[in-house]
Chain A
Amino acid sequence: MSAERRRNGAERTVFAVSAAILLAVVALLVVDLVGSDDPAAPVATASDPRRVEDAFVVPVEVGNEGDAAAFDVEVRATLTLDGVTEEEGAVVVPFLPGHATEEVVFRFTTDPADGELEVEVTSFAVP
């Protein structure tokens, strides 16, 4: 049978640091638990178009302003000229946690500055 173990200084130090880490994680989780619990709210914000060779690319930041995660977030971009849809495209962000952001890029052959560009989140799934 093993003899009773007496903790030395090194073990006591490691234990103190470990306990502090564990307490900090639990405290952060408790703060998160008692905080807001808003449903997922993905939004899309387009940046200025920039020319890349023969095309125009538009970076779009997709952010989730809610606390809950969103899955399969579909972002659709539509470019209209004189009220007629000139180009459109869609991209799906598979997973967007609460308060997280992802960047997607749309590519057009027509300069978006010549028309009206609409970028919006059209659908998403909730867990």
Chain B
Amino acid sequence: MEAVAAPAAGGWATERRDLVRGVSGGMLFGVPVLFTMEVWEIGGSADASHALAVLGVTAAVLFALNRTAGFRSTKDTRIVDAAADTVEAVAIGLVSVTLVLVVLRELTGSTPVGVGLGKVVYEALPFCLGVGLARHFLGGSGDGDGGREVDGAGRLDPTVADVGVTALGAVIVALNMAPTEEVKVLVAAMGPVWLVAMVAMSLAVSYGIVFVAGFTGEDRRRASAGSLQQPVAETIFCYLVAIGVAALMLLVFRRIDGPWDETLARVVVLGLPATVGGAAGRLAL
């Protein structure tokens, strides 16, 4: 058996951060399309030649993005590095989109392979653009905030500020989806287990965007004072704010009209995009 040297811990830490940054950028850019029924249908009915063409276009655009932005903290100056990062970015998109579609029950054990591939490839296009733009989305490496004021006079209480920006970000993203049929259609296919998975995914994505991806604002988030500013507590608290906003949006658009369990399921489903918006809002604070 061939012995393989273990990579350095620092290498894996950087790689994990880069990958989470890529997934986070993809979620920020791709989550609205993941909740669009027409894309499920277009992808599901596309023949393999169209899906291959879309995959090719995705890779070509990503290659160009990797030459200027990309998802890594280092810039690709060599063509070979940009090509390698393109392969990784496409894979990040394909795997992430597959996981989200499985939780949304748009991919199940009974989905024909060709249909599933079409859905994943078409959904991966906008997601991968987000991966390719990740470093430029919300700044860069999380190496600090250039001396921005953290505890200066006149600054809002950190917890109050968090609630405000989380709610604002959640409104901006969830507002577009709350009135659509997609939330109702998704809930119809999701049982309690998948709703719990949805909650877990929402929390993981929120934590990843704010505390792992290394976007601008991460250091400030970690340094922020307040009883609810510890990363795990903040993630849970802001998730509750986001699903509160999701419930409010559903109420505004009169999408709360069933029994409590149906309502809760709709709130949880809309909670994913709301949480993504809330996380982006906290970084932008």
Show the binding face of A for B, using Cβ within 8 Å: 1-2, 4-5, 7-11, 13-15, 17-19, 21-22, 25-26, 28-30, 32-33, 37, 67-69, 71, 95, 97-101, 127
Measured in the bound complex, the distance between the Cα atoms of B9 and A9 in whole Å is 10
B12 at the interface (CB under 8 A from A): yes
Q: List the 4 closest pairs (A to B, CB-CB), nearest first.
A: A9-B7, A18-B91, A69-B45, A33-B48
Contacts of A7 in B (CB 8 A): 81, 84
Most buried by A among B74, B91, B111: B91
Q: With contacts A2-B75, A2-B77, A97-B44 known, what are 10 further pairs, Cβ within 8 A? A: A1-B77, A4-B77, A4-B78, A10-B7, A18-B91, A22-B94, A25-B121, A33-B49, A68-B45, A127-B45
Selected from B5, B95, B115, the residue in CB contact (under 8 A) with A98 is B115
Contacts of B219 in A (CB 8 A): none
Inter-chain contact A15/B87, CB cutoff 8 Å: yes
Q: A11-B11, A25-B94 are in contact. Are A19 and B52 (CB under 8 A)?
A: no
Show the binding face of B for A, using Cβ within 8 Å: 5-8, 11-12, 14-15, 19, 41, 44-45, 47-49, 51-52, 55, 74-78, 81, 84, 87-88, 90-92, 94-95, 110-115, 117, 120-121
Most buried by B among A15, A32, A37: A32
Measured in the bound complex, the distance between the Cα atoms of B50 and A33 in whole Å is 10
Measured in the bound complex, the distance between the Cα atoms of B77 and A1 in whole Å is 9
Inter-chain contact B112/A14, CB cutoff 8 Å: no
Inter-chain contact B19/A32, CB cutoff 8 Å: no
Inter-chain contact A26/B55, CB cutoff 8 Å: yes
Measured in the bound complex, the distance between the Cα atoms of B84 and A7 in whole Å is 10
Measured in the bound complex, the distance between the Cα atoms of B114 and A68 in whole Å is 10
Q: A2-B74, A2-B75, A7-B84 are in contact. Are A29 and B55 (CB under 8 A)?
A: yes
Measured in the bound complex, the distance between the Cα atoms of B45 and A71 in whole Å is 10
Contacts of A19 in B (CB 8 A): 87, 91
Contacts of B8 in A (CB 8 A): 8-10
